[in-house]
A = this chain, B = another copy of it.
Amino acid sequence: MKLWEKGYKLDQLVETFMTGDDPTLDHALISYDCLGSMAHAKMLEKIGILDAEECSQLTEELKRIIQAAEEGKFTIHPDDEDIHTAVENALIQKLGTLGKKIHTARSRNDQVLLDLRLYSRDWTLAIMDTVLEVCAELCRFAERYQSVPIPGRTHFQRAMPSSLGLWAGAFAESLLDDLELMKTAYWLNDQCPLGSAASYGVSIEIDRQLSSELLGFRTVQNNVLYANNSRGKFESVILNALVQVMNDLSKVCTDIIIFSAPEFAYLSLPEKFCPGSSLMPQKRNPCPLELIRAKSATVQGMLFQVLEITRGLPSGYHRDFQETKRPLMQGFEVTLTSLQVFAQIFSGLHVNEDKCLKAFSSDLFATDKVLTLVKQGSPFRDAYQDVSMNLHHVNNEDPVANILSKTHIGATGNLGIHTNNLKIEEYQSWTTHQKEKWTDIKRHLQQK
């Protein structure tokens, strides 16, 4: 039974098309939908639509649904269309007339907005925590291998001495910057849409501030039309942050694929990460790294799907928005799994120090030679020309001494890992605080 049913049935083909994979996707929203309804019930009690007993009964039943869902015993029938319908129907079946009151002063529009915000809250924090683990792993690696030199490249050509430490540290810092994008996405998402209804509010004096506080939001999302206009928009802001995380992983994976090819061999991937070939017996392929790289394009495709669905629509709710749910959810899942897989593989990387050392040749020291001439008084451009014309006079140096001797900020001899570790701790304490707050909120909501 649909919430809007009133004497006619939908065409079967069309109904199946519209339901799509919502019943599947919506399983991830069951607990959020119930928590939202608990807050809504408490607010309805406050303004006198429900009495205390009614509110308590609804809360109790909603708790039962959450528990049933956790035990895999609450399913969304395709005929129920979506989670909102499934829950309201369950409440009516169990509580009769009381169940018919829960939808007072709200619409499925603000309900799905709310569910997705709570869902995104959890997932954003989970992604941030996993990014932090990867950062910590990268920093550990950078510290351990700060004295292992590798040829630095530009244009895929050999350029100047670099180090495994510099290389790993670069990605730690890039991911730390991404966390600020995640935090901004979290901040944006942290607005309570409840009560915006179908974009035009309701003619009952609801207390939106209370709903927002009960659900632990930073603020009410004020303008009720904006609440619905922001569907798709917030999703795209989140996906953009995920894209940045995935693109960092794509770059580091591409580097590892290159560094572990036999022509380089700076790194080796343990066998357990490397499937073989059905035809070629000698192959050990860096498949998971290639897949992470490909999935960065997948998340990018999702960002564009969401941006595009949203871009051309006039104000207000349109069914088009339903099609933004899947890319948001899959974007979170793909990113989280990619981070976990990357962490697993990265922590198992084997470094071939001898190969790194053997990879050096005199051309990599040409620039250092130029700067030595500069320190001896030659104007830079003259020194550059001088060395250019006499490249055969550039000698091989000790690469380890070379990289450690460069000690200005951020150079191979001064990676600043300590500062990165401090940043990691700061973000960790921020996510911990958010998670604790959210746990308290959930406990409080489930109290009658």
Contact = CB atoms under 8 A, between A and B. Distances in A.
B316 A153 contact: yes
Given A223-B169, A272-B11, A320-B290, A198 B159 contact: yes
Given A107-B280, A297-B320, 14 more contacts: A4-B281, A5-B276, A14-B273, A101-B379, A155-B286, A159-B198, A167-B225, A169-B223, A173-B223, A180-B188, A198-B280, A240-B240, A291-B323, A300-B304
A298 B323 contact: yes
A442 interface: no
Nearest to A103: B380
Contacts of A290: 155, 318-320
A335 interface: no
Contacts of A263: 263-264
A155 B285 contact: yes
A84 B181 CA distance: 32
Given A156-B261, A374-B204, A18 B281 contact: no
Interface string A381-410: 110110111010010000000100111111
A223 B305 contact: no
Interface in A131-178: 152-162, 166-167, 169-174, 177
Interface string A336-367: 01101100110010000000000001010011
Given A155-B317, A181-B184, A201 B412 contact: yes
A429 interface: no
A30 interface: no
Contacts of A85: 278
B304 A108 contact: no
Contacts of A184: 180-181, 184
A302 to B, nearest CB: 6
A407 B409 CA distance: 57
A78 interface: no
19 contacts: A11-B273, A17-B338, A18-B287, A103-B279, A152-B199, A155-B285, A156-B258, A162-B200, A167-B315, A174-B230, A208-B408, A233-B247, A263-B264, A281-B366, A281-B384, A287-B319, A297-B320, A300-B304, A300-B305
B409 A208 contact: yes
B196 A410 contact: yes
Contacts of A97: 379, 382
